[in-house]
Structure 1
Amino acid sequence: MQVYYDISDFQTLKNAVVTSGTFDGVHLGHQTILSRLRETAQQSQGETVVLTFWPHPRMVVSKDSQNLRLLSTLDEKIEALRQSGVQHLVIIPFTREFSELTSEEFIQQILVDRIGTKKLVIGYDHHFGRNREGSFEYLQQNAHRYGFEIEEIPRQEIDHITVSSTKIREALLEGQTSVAHDLLGRNYTFTGVVVKGRQLGRTIGYPTANVHVSESYKLIPADGVYAVRVKVRSQVYKGVMSIGFRPTVNGVGRTQEIYIFDFQDDVYGEKLTVEVVDYIRPELKFDGLEALVKAIDEDCAAALAILKD
């Protein structure tokens, strides 16, 4: 997959089959559109092009942008689209100036003049341009002027799984990992760097990796204990993760701490990718360290039972 961070680097194609969107999470609804994009390109011997935007438009134009939490960092989105078989990915820097482009300007300047679009594939209820004024109906009425075909994925082809990025975010924030998995088509993941904490885990026989996620907009699931898989140095290990404020030991600040089974290496400063497999229980305050250790013993047993396959 060719990735273009500046649309001026893109060379106009003779037969571009295009879709556009934010693609946060690259969930099953997105994958339906991408599948149709590939199928259409194969039928017409064209090349697939995905237009996406970074930062996420809501980060730029929304008043509550500081509270926005996304399913994907830019790198995660790129990798998911790569795995979806996209040939060309154009990442358009989303600015306030860009947000003022009319639908007419977006179509003519980007889809026609720069990309060379011959067919546009979009999801139902897709809008674009200033104030989301562009629509499928508008494109249908004006497609002859622009010289490309337009196809809208029918609502029922996506709605049968009733999927949206918003629903996935809500599920993760409620600890509903199985719902998030079913809508994403995979387990939710996040990546962070291991930082030093208070190292209390070592004193009770459960040394943990305290994972710091630098992207403040990246969604971290609800507080609680989870069964996880952890990718460390290209190897995948089983683990149990606690998200929260560690009330039993008077913790300060929210953390993501992971006990990795059968692993003793020093990984401070290294990146870990955490795959959230299943929710075990909410975060609780225990009556002292002895009760906490007993609960961790039970959490580990539960995690290993979940991860046994």
Structure 2
Amino acid sequence: MKTHSSAHTFTSEKGTVVTIGTFDGVHIGHKKIIARLTESAQVNQWESVVLTFFPHPRMLLQKDADIKLINTITERGDLLEKLGLDHLVVHPFTIDFSRMHAEDFVEEILVNALHAKKVIIGYDHRFGRNRTANIDDLKQFGAQFGFEVEEISKQELEDVAVSSTKIRTALHEGDIDKANAYLGYPIMLEGNVVYGKSLGKKLGYPTANLHIQEDYKLIPGQGVYVVRSYIEGAIVYGMMNIGTNPTVGGVAQTIETYFFDFDSDLYGKRLSIEILCKIRSEQNFESVELLIEAMKEDEIFSRTYIQSLKV
């Protein structure tokens, strides 16, 4: 898959089949749409294109909106690539772009830049300045500029929307089983390992403190989780705490992972960590000794769970 930082940098010698959307989560509903896209491209010997925008329009147009996305733009690209997509176009969403009239968008972006021969889009899709154009307008533009429009039904889109809502709700609540079931893969957190307060080391559980640069990334609810990462070509399991560490007077939220049977230096490295299941919610224990006992029980639970994955 080729990733393009703008529709204007897109290049292809073939016609394309294009779909437009956020595709946040790239969940099981999204995968059905991408499958239609790639199948249509193969049948017609065209290339498949997902056109998405960054930053998210609400980040720019509603600056007070607290937008949290399931995936960072990098994670989204990695997931789409696995689905056999030919091109991902991440077009910059700016104030000027938001003011582009519908016909200009169709001619300049879909036709001239992306060479669209077919557009697969939802029945309720709206576009252009103030989102005034709809799918009927797009079909008229298709007849004018020579591309086909395939409509995604209300039921199919509702399945996608419901999945996205349920995933976000589940992540807020720390319901990893439900979130992962809708995603079709384990939710991941990706960032750089930074220095923390070394509290874990003092408790006998040295942790890697993960810093996620993208402030729009949706972080699961506070709690303790079983996790998995791929480090130096090997699968490494562990347990992660998302929270403020209230027992030892913590205030700011941190994301800390204790990896089992692993002692290499991770500081400064970039890690992608998959969350497999939740063990418990974060607690404020009456003493550090009780906290350590709970962590030992967390480790027993984690190792038992991990062993069940290997059977």
- Bin the TM-score by the shorter chain: over 0.9
Q: Does 1:140 align with 2:108?
A: no
CA apart distance, 1:87: 0.9
1:7-156 correspondence runs (5 A) = 7-11=7-11, 13-65=13-65, 67-156=66-155
Q: Look up the equivalent residue of 2:183 and give its one-letter code.
A: L
Count residues in correspondence. 308
**2-structure distance, mates of 1:266, 1:103:** 53
* Structure 1 counterpart SS, 2:139: helix
Do the aligned partners of residues 161 and 19 (structure 1) sit closer, same or farther apart at CA in structure 2, a change above 3 Å counting? closer
Cα distance change, pair 116–161 in 1 and its aligned pair in 2 (3 A): closer
> What pairs up with 1:1-309 in 2 under 5 angstroms?
1-11=1-11, 13-65=13-65, 67-160=66-159, 163-308=162-307, 309=309
SS at match of 1:48: strand
TM-score by length of 1: 0.94
- Give the residue type in structure 1 aligned to 2:243: G
For residues 124 and 32 of structure 1, do their structure 2 counterparts lie closer, same or farther at Cα, with a shift above 3 Å needed? farther
- Do 1:20 and 1:51's aligned partners in 2 also have CA atoms closer than 8 Å? yes
TM-score by length of 2: 0.93
Deviations 1:204-233 (A, max 9, x none): 221111111111111111001111112323
> Structure 1 CA distance, aligned partners of 2:39 and 2:33?
10
Structure 2: which 5+ runs fail to align? none
- Kept in 2: contact 1:69–1:219 (CA 8 A): yes
Q: Whole-Å Cα distance in 1 between the matches of residues 14 and 233 of structure 2?
A: 40
Q: Which runs of 5+ in 1 are unaligned?
A: none
Judge conservation of contact 1:161–1:183 (CA < 8 Å) in 2. Answer: no
CA contact (8 A) 2:106 2:141 kept: no
Tell me the percent identity. 46
Q: Which amino acid aligns with 1:265?
A: S
Of 226-235 and 270-279, deviating more is 226-235
Separation in 2 of the partners of 1:245 and 1:39?
A: 47
Q: Deviations over 1:205-262 (max 9, x none)?
A: 2111111111111111100111111232332211111111101000131001111111
Distance 2:7 2:231 in 1: 35
